Amino acid sequence: MRNVERALIQDLERHFRRMTELLYDTRVPAHVLDEEVVPFLAEDVTFTDPWQRGSGRETYRRGAAGFHCMFSFDFDIFQLNVQLDEGHQRGRAIVDGTMNLKQLRWLYTYPLRTILVYDFTLVGNRPLVHAHEEMWSLGDMIDAIPGVGRFYTSVFRRAFSYGFLAASALCRRARGRFSNH
């Protein structure tokens, strides 16, 4: 990788780290999102998570401001990577971390392992985000529920695994009988 490309990727990684820190810390006021995030959104930007999908810069802006009003959370980044296509026109930033949901912080902070994907194009060296996807696992959600998580991890998953292996063995046996004839 050439030094110019390496420097561009490092700048983009800093940019997407900052963007994630702003979007995923509800202490950040809406006017800061408007100033530091919205200018980097394409008019046709989409936001997708397991429960919803919306599109358009204004919809995204209102949704982000609403989340910052209604919920309490922050985000711990574990890994962040930016890759560019060969022509350096398009790229993808992937952020792996934990969203710390703090609605009932006096009782419990709910850790939700989350992967974020930002698909973008470059206008000069400036990223323009066309898609932002937030991914998290239903299994991780269940596992993080106090009291329920232990049962889910140690009983349900183990029992389901044994059941799946038994069903697999039956399937293999049945297929073996039918394939010989």
Same domain, 55 and 94: yes
What's the Cα-to-Cα distance from 84 to each of 2, 4, 6, 9, 150, rounded to whole Å?
13, 13, 11, 8, 41
What CATH number does residue 71 fall under? 3.10.450.50
pLDDT score recorded for residue 72: 93
Residue 76 and residue 98 in contact, taking contact as beta carbons nearer than 8 Å:
yes
* pLDDT band, residue 61 (cuts 50/70/90): very high
In this model, does residue 181 exceed pLDDT 60?
no
pLDDT score recorded for residue 158: 85
Query: In Å, how far from its chain's centre is CA 16?
Result: 13
Residue 175 structure tokens: 């297929």
Q: What is the pLDDT of residues 113-123, one digit of tens each?
A: 999 999 999 99
Number of domains in the chain: 2
| CA separation for the pair 169, 156 (Å, rounded) | 20
DSSP 3-state of 96: strand
| CA separation for the pair 39, 23 (Å, rounded) | 13
Give the CA dihedral 62, 67, 70, 71, nearest 10 degrees. -170
Same domain, 157 and 122: no
What is the pTM (predicted TM-score) of this model?
A: 0.82
Mean pLDDT for the stretch of residues 1-12: 86
Same domain, 89 and 165: no
Same domain, 154 and 98: no
* pLDDT band, residue 172 (cuts 50/70/90): confident
Of 143 and 105, which is predicted with more confidence? 143
pLDDT score recorded for residue 134: 96
Of 42 and 166, which is predicted with more confidence? 42
In this model, does residue 42 exceed pLDDT 90?
yes
In this model, does residue 180 exceed pLDDT 70?
no
- Which residues are CB-neighbours of 97 under 8 A, at least 6 positions away? 20, 75, 76, 77, 78, 79, 113, 114, 116
Domain range for 130 is 3-145
